[in-house]
Structure formats: structure tokens, C-alpha cells
Amino acid sequence: MDFAHFLCPVCKSPLRGEPRRYVCPAGHSFDRAARGYVHLLPSNRMHAKIPGDNREMVLSRRRFLDAGGYALFARALCELAAPLVPPGGIAVDAGCGEGYYTAALAGALPDAAVCGYDIAKCAVDSAARRGARMALAVAGSYDIPLASGCADLVTDVFAPVVPGEFRRILKPGGWFLLAVPGPRHLFALKELLYERPYENEVRDVAYEGFRYVSRTPVRGQLTLDDPRLIWDLFTMTPYYWKTGVEAAQRLRQATRLDTEIEFDFLSYQAV
């Protein structure tokens, strides 16, 4: 999918899409990958050799999400997004990962352009394999290579929140949908991992440049009886980095997981 609102990450000029590359008036050129996405993260802004989620985390997330465990959250996101993006409008999925929610948005917004970006190249490559009608780029939220005031909607599902950049790319009156974990999201998973599991804090965060509008809770129950999917779920969460070897080994031995799953979608409007 061609996309007319990408910016050159070097000089911030508009990029023109060509069959195999994007190019700016100053001659900076960025090749399209075979699957159509473009790499717009300059090497001097890569704070690691391979930034973002690693291949194991991306594959785990893809297996788990494609198995349908979080389908109710994708449906809720699309129901919230649909009335916020007019025909011919633009929706941007910030930190899109392997594209599960981005592709869902593309299906729910057939008359709009959907763009996703992520700092992890392997995640964007995985998103591109979905074959959905969306524009994809390797990029980060702290310097989004998109034109100011181009978007009607920014969505963020557990990705870094950068209010200044989100506000910059949104039109006045545009919308920002943020997914946060509900109080007891994955509580049974925490019970397997930790001696003193805790509920997630619930608070309405104010962001400069935005007016908080509403909180939409989405609740469900998840049952997994495939040990690989239980491990995939663990691998795609922050607990993967915070859990000791002994607790992770306990989880490795689990053959069934019944847990509450809870997202809250916070709605903000650009002012």
C-alpha cells in the first residue's frame, strides 16, 4: 500500500512513493522491502543493534494472537475506532508489533488508510506477512516519520506513549485510543509466577494536548490447555523480563491456564 504521509527521517521532507522505494526532494532514498514496508529508523537513532522485541517475542505474540486469545479486544478496538475515522481518513497504530490489531483496524476501516510502525524490524516484517491493506514502516514513537496533522486516529496497544508526537501527527479534534491492562488482567498467570500477585493500578492519566473522554472496560475469560500457548502468552508480556528462573520453570510445567483477561480502552481527543 502506498502512503503519501511518510516523512524523510533525515530532513523531514515529504517522501514520494515509488515501486521499490520512497524518496524525498533532497534525494534521500529508502528501499521498500519485498513485502512492501519501508525502513525509516536511521542507524544513529537505533539504541541497540536489534531494537525492540526480539524474534522469539514476535513469534510468540503472533502464535498466541492468531489463536484468538485476545480476539475480543481486537473487536472492541475496531468498534471504538470505526466512528472516529471518516472515509478517506487516516488511522495510525503506534508500536504496531506484528500487526494483529493493525490488520484488524484495516478490515474495520475499508474506506480509510491504516498505517502501522514499530521499532522492531522483525515485528514489522511479520505484520507485512498478514497481507492486509496497510502501510508499514520501521520507526519509533519518539520521532514518528509522519506528516503533522495527517491522522484522524492514533491507537496504542501496550506500546510506549509519546503524547507530544501523537498530538503532532493528529488533526485538531483527532482521537487517541490507549489500551491499558485492567485490574485483574492475567491474574492467574501472576499467581503461577509470584508469591504475592498484585492487581494492576487503575488511574485516568492526563496527557498534555489531549482531553480525557472515557474509559471502556473489556472483560473476558481465557482458557489455555496448550503448554506452548501458555508459554507464548508469558513470553509476550513484561513478566518475561521480570521473572526468575524458578518461577519460569513452574510455568513451563503448566498444562492448563484459566485466567481473567481485561483491557481498558482510554479515549482522548486532541485539543
C-alpha separations of 147 from 10, 74, 77, 136, 231 in Å: 14, 27, 24, 15, 39
Find how far residue 142's CA is from the centre of its chain. Answer: 14
User: Is the Cα torsion angle 186, 161, 73, 248 positive or negative in sign?
Assistant: negative
How far is it, in rounded angstroms, from Cα 74 to Cα 66? 11
- Binding residues for Zn(2+) are 8, 11, 24, 28
Q: In 134-226, where does DSSP find H-type helix?
A: 163-169, 187-193
Q: Within a 10 A sphere around the Cβ of 234, how many other Cβ atoms?
A: 23
List binding-site positions for S-adenosyl-L-methionine.
70, 98-99, 185
Residues annotated within the binding site are 8, 11, 24, 28, 70, 98-99, 185
Longest Cα–Cα distance in the chain: 59
Q: Quick check: 169 and 144 in contact, CB under 8 A? A: yes
For cell 492468531, name the residue: 66
CA 17 – CA 212 distance, rounded (Å): 36
200-206 CB contacts, 8 Å cutoff, 24+ apart: 202/264, 204/266, 205/266
Please state, in angstroms and rounded to a whole number, the distance separating the CA atoms of residues 186 and 54: 22
Cell reading at 202: 487503575
